[in-house]
Amino acid sequence: MSSAQPEPGSQVEVHVLVDLSRSSAKLGAYEARLTWNAQVLELVKVADGETPAFASPQKRTRPDSLIFSDGEAEPASGLSGDGVRYVQ
């Protein structure tokens, strides 16, 4: 993780984690938005995550935001709260 007080001109890494380990919820799809002040920060790179059930997220970028989403073609499958792929 990057410093909370980075020097001007340095790069900052932002990690996004969805933790359902304490939930019985089953995640079949998601959409999330990450926003920032475009006068202060610039998006340089987006790296895909490491979740096998959602291997190809869709990404839309703007100067001040990133929207990313993914979903299973079969609505009865996805990830359980412990991160294990399920199929009903």
pLDDT tens-digit map of 14-73: 888 877 788 887 777 889 999 999 998 999 998 877 776 777 788 999 999 999 888 876
Structural domain containing residue 58: 1-88
Per DSSP, 74 falls in state S
Please give the tally of structural domains in the chain: 1
Tokens coding 27? 């995640």
* Spatial distance between the Cα atoms of 31 and 65, rounded to a whole number of angstroms: 13
User: Does pTM top 0.85 for this prediction?
Assistant: no
Q: Which amino acid is at 55?
A: A
Q: How do the residues of the chain divide into helix, strand and coil, expressed in percent and rounded to 5?
A: 5, 30, 65
Cβ contacts of 13-21, under 8 Å, gap ≥ 24? 16/49, 20/79, 20/80, 20/81, 20/82, 20/83, 21/81, 21/82, 21/83
* Spatial distance between the Cα atoms of 40 and 56, rounded to a whole number of angstroms: 29
